Structure 1
Amino acid sequence: MLRPSYSDLIKAVNSEVEPGEDPIVTSRYSIVIATAKRAKQLINGSKPLIETDSRKPLSIAIEEMNQGKVKIIADNEKK
């Protein structure tokens, strides 16, 4: 079982959304895509944003999201 759960990750990512605004992430698919992109960055040489004993890029990416170290930018916010 995935720890943290998808629900926990969605709550963590949407924690900074102001009341009345649309949540950034509404589906598990969005979480999967975002963590996969971050894991690919780690594989390609990016440094982890957290202290961890794990050497697995996907595990690091999930924990970074859970701790709020990685932000997901909605498509309409990209420049």
Structure 2
Amino acid sequence: MIHPSYKELIEVINNGQDMDEAPLVTSRYSIVLATSKRARQLIAGAEPLVKTRGKKALSVAVDELYKGKVNILPSEEEE
């Protein structure tokens, strides 16, 4: 069982959005893309933003998203 679930991650990421704004994340696909991109950064040598011990890069990326350490930007704000 994956913890947190996709549903929990989507709720945490969209928390704080204004009601008239479109949610940042609407599907599991968005979560998968964000976590895989962050996991690749971690594999390439980026420092984890949460305390880890023996966790794989993907697990660390999920933890970072869940704890709000990494943000998903709308497509027009990406560089």
Structure-2-length-normalised TM-score: 0.93
Partner of 1:17: 17
User: Which runs of 4 or more aligned residues in structure 1 lie more than 4 Å from their structure 2 counterparts after TM superposition?
Assistant: none
* CA drift at 1:12: 1.0
Gaps of 5+ in 1: none
User: Which amino acid in 2 is paired with 1:15?
Assistant: N
Gaps of 5+ in 2: none
Q: Distance in 2 between matches of 1:3 and 1:77?
A: 29
Identical residues among aligned pairs (%)? 49
Backbone CA RMSD of aligned residues? 1.1
Structure-1-length-normalised TM-score: 0.93
Residues 1:76 and 2:76 aligned together = yes
